[in-house]
Amino acid sequence: EIVLTQSPGTLSLSPGERATLSCRASQSVSSSYLAWYQQKPGQAPRLLIYGASSRATGIPDRFSGSGSGTDFTLTISRLEPEDFAVYYCQQYGSSPSTFGQGTRLEIK
């Protein structure tokens, strides 16, 4: 199965700053079948990005995804207070689908 490694484990930034989160796959993710989710305490995950770079319905354009093959990035251009949460990547190009271990984005 494909192992997804997210970095950093924790990212400390201030509102207004730019956040760059990485997701690296142990083998190539076919057709860029990679998604990103945001999860806040006590809530189900929320889909942000699918197909590596397509924003889900209702997601602000400060969130963007990029990458292909084994290296993917989620960028939040200007952090808002509500963006501080845990972020997960998921590959769904190979069975079984797998998630990364998460990156915690915390307020500095």
Looking up tokens 């998604």, which residue turns up? 35
Which residues of the shown chain bind another protein in the complex (CB under 8 A)?
A: 1, 33, 35, 37, 39, 44-47, 50-51, 56-57, 88, 90, 92-102
Helix (H) or strand (E) holding 39: strand 34-39
- The least distance separating another protein from the CB of residue 15, rounded to whole angstroms, comes to 25
- For residue 103, the minimal CB distance to another protein (Å) is 10
Burial of 34 (0-12, 13-18, 19+ CB in 10 A): buried
Q: Which is nearer to another protein, 16 or 69 (CB)?
A: 69
Q: Identify which of residues 35 and 76 has a Cβ nearer to another protein in the complex.
A: 35
Question: Of the two residues 46 and 62, which places its CB atom closer to another protein in the complex?
Answer: 46
Q: Is 76 exposed, middle or buried (0-12, 13-18, 19+ CB in 10 A)?
A: buried
β-bridge partners, 107: 13
* Residue 100: CB minimum distance to another protein, A: 7
Taking the least distance from each CB to another protein, the nearer of 84 and 88 is 88
21's tokens:
């989160």
